[in-house]
Amino acid sequence: MDAVHSGDEWSIGGELELAQDFEVIDLNELDSSCGYISEADDSTYISSFLNGLVTDETLYSRYLNGVISFDDLMREMHHSTTLDNDSCRSSDSDCSSKNDDSEYTIRPRRSKRRQNPDTVGKKKLKLRGPLISKRARLPIELAQYLGEAERHLNNDEFEHAERICYQIIDTAPQASQPYIVLAEISFRRGNQEKAKEFLYQAAQRNPSDQNTWLTLMDWAEEAEDFPLAIHYARQALRRNRADTSLRQRLIDLCHVAGRSREALQLRLAALSVTPESTGEEQFEVARELADQFFKLLDPHNSVKAYENAFEQYPDHGTDNDRNSALSIMLQMKRYDQALKFFTSFCGVKLYLNSGDLFDMDRHSSKLSSVEKFKRCEFPDNMAVELQLKLFLILAHLGLGPLVVSRVESTYTNENITKYSDWLLDIVVAYKEKNLYSIAIQLILKLKKSNVTCKLVQVWTLLAECYLEAGETESAIKAYRHVIENLDPRHTDARLGLVNLLRRLGRNQEALKFLNPSNLVQKGVKPEISLTEQCDLIVQKREKSPLKSSHRSTVKSFAFSDLQRTSVVGDVDSDERSVEKVCLDSDWLDASANLVSRDHVAYRLAYERCRMLDTPESVDSFLEEAWALLFSDVTRVCGPRFTQLALTLDSEQHRKLVIDRLASVAPALTDTLSNQIDAERSTTETNGVSSSDIWGLFLRVVDVLRARLPKSLPQLETATAWASLLPHVQGNDLRRLAASHLLISSSLIARHGTPAFLELRKIQKQWSEYNQYWNVMNLAITLSRDFKHCRFLDRLVTKDSLNLAIGTIASSDTLVRGSYRYAIARLINMREKFPDDALLTLLLAVGFLSMAMQKHIGSRHLAILQAVGFLGEYKRLRGDCQEVYYNIARACHQLLITHMAIHYYEKVLAMEPIGNNPEEKSVTNLHREAAFNLALLYRTNGNPAMARHILQKYVVI
């Protein structure tokens, strides 16, 4: 069976090679000489065929009995052959019909008549007539040998026939006839799958055999393998492209397989190969195909359908057909193709300066220069719409000056009323080709018409033409007319006027047109200024933590908004429902006036910020940018939620605010990501993208950083509110950058809670780094509430082997006053990390603090344990300023004055640790020790020594 698989190496390249060897034959002569052989005459034909080829039957008997080898058989047959090869070449049809039965493609088909199962193996073959290519032909000796296989096949001796075919395949692997015989053998045996494989191998070796492909197509269609049937049908159609029945069958297969586009393409190809009998039918089919292609967003084939119809029947097309084809070409901006269509099917003639008639195929390179053309002629009875499209095409190709007079004559009131869009497109085309004077003349005619005199597009186009022509004052008047009389919210007109005024140096006048306050809906309450907002924030932060009444208001708001469908059965359910209705009504009033909802005002405000971003107007820039970025946040949060939004107190509240800012109607979207995508697409469509807003925010941060420390409250507020903006939440990198800015600004302002809440979000990502825990410890130290306590307890429970978490949690427990719990946790940590000096110091601090408590059984035992841990701490840490300073502080707390003075003096006598002055300045404890020592001297009645110490170590 190896010989069977050798045909798999054939590819498309192999088929092309076979195609080069095809022979052109006379089908009429072939049909008359060969025809189809009926099933009744098969045996007679084969016997006579074999008698003509085999001169000595005993040769086969001797070979089959094993007397001679296969090589001896071939040698004897070669010597006994008396056929004249030259005469066979000169009369191919006679030779092939009489001597070469194997050159006919055998196509096994199932009989449609009901057969007896006993007679299935006796099924006869049908012989067909197309000749096989030269490479697929067998040598005459092998052809005679294949006849022997067919004789065995007719006698139902399948094994002998199969063995002979495999021997022939080993000798001539490129021949197709043995595979056809093998396919017939498998088919008679009832193995149709194997017959398909053999028949496909034969088709690959002889692609010109259409009948083989048709048989494969039949079998694939019976198996409902429509893609494979389409492939076989395409192969068969390549052999005879004029076969209309086969093409229709292929179209039906494409429809069944759901390939509507392929079916339409086949119908389109049929228009050129086999056109319809009349022009009306041709154009009716072309219109149908063009419409269907256009619905499938395939304008190229839609135009091709019309072009094929006009090529076949150029006199039967209507003006509507020409208009449809040209409109599609203009939509695709295929102006050269449209001009060729005009010159071919509409009677348009272009003459060169030499007097020759312009031909698109020969003179297409001359389209770039209008100087090479002399005139343009077209029929006087051409429809007006076709004339306008011709003018538009010529203008886009740079040939507009050839028909200026004809174009001006078409700008009548009647044509303006019907075809104002086409006339405007012609003006735009002249403007794009820098023919501003012609464009101005044409658009002035539109301005005088009652139909187009109030169109904004006409006036903006006139202003642009005036501007390009150098008439700036006329351009300013046109822009002003649009803004003041036609459409005050027209963004392009305002921005065009502003850019023109800036070029003329009239910046104040330009800023007046960029003020969005005139465009925002009436009834909006005036926003408080930047300074007033930040002062309000500072005042609230200076107070104690949130009052109970304020917290209850916040909780009821979050509960009512996050659980809208829940039913509360307690007493104050009515109060909560009333409060929910009030809050929702407040939200609807606020959301209706958000700046981001008015895209025109939003765009103008952004352009105003860009214009004010200069060193001379940096204060105005900061105010305008603050209003643009954060005015919506203040409206949504309201006065009662300002502190929550700034300190990021509640994650649920933050998410609620982000949802409200991200979408016009939060109930219409399911997830936050969908809302952010909708907002991003809306802003980018209106000219301000998320990247622009992010860049503006970074510019505000740069300005505030340059003004530190005065602008520290403003910087912290800006970074806190930025984390609520949809433009920041919609991008992971921006969200992370805004979080880092918030952490830095909060720590600089010594507000630990906002920094802790942001650090808590990124704990999983950065928990392996000591830098993260150092920043976390700093945020916890600066925090004024206890929101971090449960968080640290959960972390210690989950990861008891993390030294950083255990140290921070134990230190926080000491600060809270739970000394016994902290000591127990520290002893547990010390068992796992016995050589850590900081744990020993914390144990000493814990016992020392417990000794200072009022209700304690024995202070002496606690003090002795504290002193013992201090000694262990000194052993582990070594001699340095830090050790002696901590021992001196402990003695100072215990009022052991003489020992505290001793250790403070040792600190003053030692040099700080560090390799350079910068490092030493960080670890230097001279000032701290000197200050505490001066306190001791002053307490003990020695102010002179205290003053001496301060003058020596503290005063700069």
pLDDT in tens, 414-454: 999 999 999 999 999 999 999 999 999 999 999 888 888 88
- pLDDT interval class at 891 (50, 70, 90): very high
Determine the Cα–Cα distance for residues 326 and 317; give it in Å rounded to an integer: 13
Calculate what percentage of the chain has a pLDDT beyond 90. 26
The verdict on residue 389 lying in a domain is: yes
Q: Indicate if 724 and 854 belong to the same structural domain.
A: no
Note whether residue 299 is domain-resident: no
Distance between the two ends of the chain, CA-based, in angstroms?
A: 102
In a domain? residue 131: yes
Could you give the CA distance from residue 712 to residue 696 in angstroms, rounded to a whole number? 19
Q: In whole angstroms, what is the distance from residue 370 CA to residue 396 CA?
A: 12
Beta-bridge partner residues of 357: 351
With 0-12 / 13-18 / 19 or more C-beta atoms within 10 angstroms meaning exposed / middle / buried, residue 821 is middle
Residues 323 and 468 grouped into a single domain = yes
The answer on 705 and 805 residing in a single domain is: no
Q: What pLDDT does residue 103 have?
A: 35
Query: Do 494 and 541 share a structural domain?
Result: no
Bridge partners for 689 per DSSP: none
> Which of 164, 183, 206 is at the close of a domain?
206
Q: Which residues of 461-489 are buried (b: 16+ CB within 10 A; e: fewer)?
A: bbbbbbbebebeebbbebbebbbeebeee
Whether 567 is covered by a domain: the verdict is no
Of the residues 714, 731, 748, which one is the last residue of a structural domain? Answer: 731
Question: Within this chain, do residues 719 and 850 fall inside the same structural domain, yes or no?
Answer: no
Q: Quick one: 496 and 604 in the same domain? A: no
The CATH number of residue 939's host domain is 1.25.40.10
**Looking at the domain assignment, is residue 296 inside a domain?**
no
List, for residues 550-595, the tens digit of each pLDDT value.
Answer: 333 333 333 334 333 333 334 344 444 444 445 445 544 545 567 7
Q: What is the pLDDT of residue 686?
A: 60
Q: What is the mean pLDDT of residues 295-320?
A: 88
| Residue owning tokens 């095409």 | 393
d(CA 905, CA 819): 31
Q: Is the pLDDT of residue 536 over 60?
A: no
User: Quick one: residue 910, left, alpha or beta (phi over 0 = left, psi -120 to 50 = alpha)?
Assistant: beta
Do residues 384 and 434 both lie within one domain? yes
User: pLDDT class for 638, splitting at 50, 70, 90?
Assistant: low
Compute the Cα dihedral for 765, 770, 771, 776 and give only its sign. Answer: positive
Q: Is the pLDDT of residue 783 over 50?
A: yes
Both 626 and 656 in one domain: the answer is yes
Give the separation between CA 846 and CA 815, rounded to whole angstroms. Answer: 10
Ranking 260-269, 428-437, 670-679, 718-727 by mean pLDDT, the lowest is: 670-679
Spatial neighbors of 13 by CB under 8 A, at least 6 apart, are: none
In a domain, 769, yes or no: no
CA torsion angle for 732, 737, 741, 744 (degrees, to 10)?
A: 100
Q: Residue 536 is which amino acid? A: L
557 vs 10, 271, 523, 566, CA distance in Å? Answer: 75, 71, 25, 14
The predicted pLDDT at position 69 comes to 64
Measured in degrees and rounded to the nearest 5, phi and psi for residue 325 equal -65, -45
826 confidence band (pLDDT: 50, 70, 90): very high
The sign of the CA dihedral 718, 719, 725, 730 is: positive
* pLDDT band, residue 518 (cuts 50/70/90): low
- Domain end point (choices 190, 206, 222): 206
In a domain, 715, yes or no: yes
Same domain for 466 and 537, yes or no, is no
DSSP class of 377? E
Q: pLDDT category, 934, cuts 50, 70, 90?
A: very high
Least confident span in 220-234, 408-422, 667-681, 744-758: 667-681
Report the length, in residues, of the chain: 956
DSSP state of 127: B
DSSP β-bridge partners for residue 349? 377
pLDDT in tens, 185-214: 888 888 888 888 888 888 888 888 888 888
Cis peptide bond prior to 379, omega within 30° of 0: no
Residue 586 corresponds to which tokens in the numbers above? 């407040």
Flag the least confident range among 95-104, 152-161, 834-843: 95-104
List C-alpha distances in Å: 500 to 430, 492, 494, 503: 22, 12, 10, 5
pLDDT mean across residues, the chain: 76
User: What burial class does residue 86 get, using C-beta atoms within 10 Å of its C-beta: 0-12 exposed, 13-18 middle, 19+ buried?
Assistant: exposed
Does some domain include residue 88? yes
Q: Cα–Cα distance between 213 and 236 in angstroms, integer? A: 5
Are both 13 and 80 inside the same structural domain?
yes
Give the CA distances from residue 178 to residues 7, 97, 951, in Å, rounded to whole numbers and listed in that order.
Answer: 12, 19, 115
Cα–Cα distance, 471 to 504 (Å, whole number) = 12
Tokens for 936, please give them. Answer: 């001791």
Q: Please indicate, yes or no, whether residues 377 and 425 belong to a single structural domain of this protein.
A: yes
Give pairs for 12-19: CB < 8 Å, separation 24+. Answer: 14/204, 15/204, 15/207, 17/135, 18/133, 18/135, 18/136, 18/205, 18/206, 18/207, 18/208, 19/133, 19/207, 19/208
Residue scoring higher pLDDT (567 or 760): 760
Residues spanned by the domain of 342: 310-511
Largest CA distance in the chain: 146
Q: Specify the pLDDT at position 148.
A: 80
pLDDT digits (tens, 9 = 90+) for 111-168: 333 334 343 333 443 333 343 444 456 778 788 788 888 888 888 888 888 888 888 8
Is it the case that residue 915 has pLDDT exceeding 90?
A: no
Tell me what percent of the residues of the chain surpass a pLDDT of 70. 72
Q: How many domains does the chain have?
A: 4
Helices then strands, each counted (H, E), the chain: 54, 2
Q: Are residues 340 and 467 in the same domain?
A: yes
pLDDT digit string (tens) for 64-99? 555 566 666 666 655 554 333 343 333 343 433 333
